[in-house]
Structure 1
Amino acid sequence: MATTRITAQLPPNIDPTKAPLAYGDRALPKLNRELNSATLITRQRALMALCDVMHNAEHICSALRVGIVASLRRLLSDTNPVVRMKTTEVLFIMAGHAVGRTAFLENYIIIPLAKLFDDEVYDVRLNAHKAIQMSTQSPPGPEGVINARLIESLVSKLKIEEDDIREVILDTLHSCMFIDTDQALEASAMSAFTMLLSHDRPSIRCKAARDIMDLSFPLDGKRKACEENTIPSLVILLRDDHAEVRAKAAGALMVITITTEGKYKSIESKSIPPLISLLSDVHSEARLNAIKAITTLAEAPSGRQELQQVIEKLQFIQETDTSDAVIKAAKAAIKVITWKP
């Protein structure tokens, strides 16, 4: 016989941790009202729902119209750690879209977000760094970080933060140094990058070498690399077990050895034998960067003399390599090594 008993369980498609969405165009205005609620659980549930909604770029445009970004900016200073964590997560998702990155600058999100670099909760700090890093993926983003004078803070965090956050910071600095290297040089970034070349995690070693290459493009960066004794650490990485690390280390040496001081310091650090070994590397970027580094070292008389042994190998590469860029670099290297005054 049927009864009128009602189950105490929620329907299977109801998530009690998320705010229910209103229908159609009313959904985001309702969430915005809930974000500004005085009730903690209401704010938390609205943020949980917003994390799902913001994956759609169309919803980001609608969120901008109803003022959700301004509400999120206020929530960055909320006293509840869960609210701060989910707020930074929403901003990270938004920064994955071009319209969201533009909103970061227009709504002055970068500086309030950067204040969370010192938050006591690890997930809040990680999300804040990821949101800043994602915002630097298009041209206005790095300029916003540089104008906010955040480079010094980012470099200082490299020395004390957890490894996952260090990786994100290295990516952020990589994007910013395409625009400006002065702040990084003033913040002793070369010293921080050099310290990370001996890190246990291959991805950190790789990104540190890449950032050294970025920072060494200006003349002051090359000088700083020589002063900080960066070259011997890079030479060690030329024999690293991971191809990406070898490639980035060779790329950094390629840039630093453009100057006379860099050439002789590199030769003194015994960089030529491992660079010759990289000519047979399976990774085309490692071969290319090694050949270019060999070319710059051959401009020094002592380097040219030591590199006479590699001419045949370069000729073989020129004839057999599958990469046009490697073939072109090998041809230029042979010309420099065989040059006679």
Structure 2
Amino acid sequence: MHSVIRKRQGLPYTPPESKGFLANSQLFTSQQVRKEPFPPDELGLAYGTFQYPKLVNQATSSDDELRRKALAHILEMLRGAREVSSLVPVGIVAALTKSAELQHCIESRTFATAALLPLAKDLNGRGAILAQGSATVGALLRLVCDPEPVVRANALAVCLQLSRFRDGARALIAGGCVAVFVRRCSEEKLADQLAAVLAALTMVTDTEAAGLEQAIKGGAIETVCGLVDGKYQLEQPIPAVCEHGFALLRTLTLGPEQKMLAVSQGVLRVLVSMLTPAATYGIDTDPEALHRVATEAAGALMSITAHTESKEEAVKLGAIAPLSDIVHASHDAEAKQLMTNASSTLTTNALKCISNLAECPLGRKQLRTKALPDLKPLTIASEPLVSKHAELATYRVQWKP
């Protein structure tokens, strides 16, 4: 404690002498106390419950250095649930929102947006964000378009976290997130952030009908079709972009008009090719990432080919061969008892596609030769959804007029 007091007074440390209390007291009182004031940017912390309002006040200080130190300290504190519950009642959300939009200070925007993420993950913190109305949500949507990549990434992470909950999705939609996200799909050049935009847009359209309606009217189908086809990037989109793009496309193609709109954009060719993504990305790509791409591609293909006019187009584009390969691989996995609930989603989506394409005479003819031998064993697969859809697919492939 002796050294702590001396350090706070700005005095050099002097080891206490072993001459008893009187000698130590004389040594302590003989020193001159620091006369000059403390630097205004020094983060002097209070103790107990007083530290939280003091930090919140410093987080919006006009002094850049003090504000940055306070925001960095708050970000560190928010790793604990107790600190989150202590900072929320004293106005941390409003303070972070204000600092997040300081255009002249990149570090403040970075720290503030990063600190909003643990709050969005906490029930009380998320409630405080939504209680701000359009203030915090509006700021986040503006920061999604920030020129600094780190700030954009932080804001997107918060939006994605909010969109996982119905009340958060509603707040984002009310703030105009759909138009912002659709626009970012054609403007964002960083692949990881583009994937985050697609994921957030998928969440808000899948959670709320209002978000889905706004996305369709706002040209999301055309934008996503162009995105997964590489029209907005010089290079082939990375697997994560295609994965989330296909998932979004599956959500957007709800009605027959939307399905035919997607077909008119030429996306069926992309979906068929991505049923075997290793041919596009190479065998050195992460197998799990390729599996997720194929799963979402099959899901989007299943959604679009539910419409009669798109079935024949998919068959002509060669969808039967990769779908048959997926079923064959699933048959082998089932025989070796390697099929799991996680890995069976691709099989289920492929079986649904086969059921759709079997309604087309040309598709049914090809499926009888290429897929039927592997379909029948899957009717008794260990995974219930696989066996269910294998039975339906087998029935439709064997059907005769």
Say which of 217, 238, 254 aligns to 1:186: 217
Q: Secondary structure at the match of 2:302?
A: helix
Q: Which amino acid aligns with 2:129?
A: F
Once the two structures are superposed, the pairs formed by residues 32-71 of structure 1 within 5 Å of their partners are 32-71=56-95
Task: Show the counterpart of 1:168.
Answer: 196
Task: Show the counterpart of 1:332.
Answer: 392
Task: Decide whether the 8 Å contact of 1:206 with 1:244 is kept in 2.
Answer: yes
Distance 1:204 1:24 in 2: 47
Q: Secondary structure at the match of 1:118?
A: coil
Say which of 342, 366, 373 aligns to 1:312: 373
Task: Decide whether the 8 Å contact of 2:226 with 2:265 is kept in 1.
Answer: no
Task: Decide whether the 8 Å contact of 1:307 with 1:337 is kept in 2.
Answer: yes
Say which of 137, 140, 143 aligns to 1:113: 140
Which piece of structure 1 moves more, 57-66 or 143-152? 57-66
Which piece of structure 1 moves more, 138-147 or 275-284? 275-284
Task: Show the counterpart of 1:97.
Answer: 122
| Post-superposition offset of 1:238 | 0.7
Task: Decide whether the 8 Å contact of 2:247 with 2:300 is kept in 1.
Answer: yes
Distance 2:349 2:325 in 1: 12
Task: Decide whether the 8 Å contact of 1:57 with 1:99 is kept in 2.
Answer: no
| Post-superposition offset of 1:6 | 4.5
1:237 aligns with 2:261: no
- Kindly report structure 1 stretches of 4+ aligned residues shifted beyond 6 Å: none
Q: Secondary structure at the match of 1:238?
A: coil
Say which of 149, 173, 190 aligns to 1:122: 149
Q: Taking structure 1 as reference, are residues 142 and 5 closer, same or farther at Cα in structure 2, changes over 3 Å only?
A: closer
Q: Taking structure 1 as reference, are residues 322 and 20 closer, same or farther at Cα in structure 2, changes over 3 Å only?
A: farther
Task: Show the counterpart of 1:215.
Answer: 252
| Post-superposition offset of 1:140 | 0.9
Q: Secondary structure at the match of 1:124?
A: helix
Task: Show the counterpart of 2:286.
Answer: none
Task: Show the counterpart of 1:13.
Answer: none
Q: Secondary structure at the match of 1:120?
A: coil
Distance 1:315 1:118 in 2: 52
Q: Secondary structure at the match of 2:187?
A: coil
Q: Secondary structure at the match of 1:183?
A: helix
Unaligned residue ranges in structure 2 (runs of 5+): 1-10, 15-40, 230-235, 279-289, 331-342
Q: Secondary structure at the match of 2:144?
A: helix
TM-score (norm 2): 0.77
**Is the radius of gyration larger for structure 1 or structure 2?**
2
Distance 1:279 1:20 in 2: 65
Unaligned residue ranges in structure 1 (runs of 5+): 8-16
Deviations 1:196-240 (A, max 9, x none): 335342121211111111111333331221121111110000111
| Post-superposition offset of 1:21 | 4.2
Task: Decide whether the 8 Å contact of 1:19 with 1:48 is kept in 2.
Answer: no
Q: Taking structure 1 as reference, are residues 271 and 43 closer, same or farther at Cα in structure 2, changes over 3 Å only?
A: same
| Post-superposition offset of 1:155 | 1.4
| Post-superposition offset of 1:18 | 9.2
Q: Taking structure 1 as reference, are residues 18 and 135 closer, same or farther at Cα in structure 2, changes over 3 Å only?
A: farther
| Post-superposition offset of 1:39 | 1.2
Say which of 273, 285, 292 aligns to 2:352: 292
TM-score (norm 1): 0.90
Q: Which amino acid aligns with 1:143?
A: R
Q: Which amino acid aligns with 1:126?
A: A
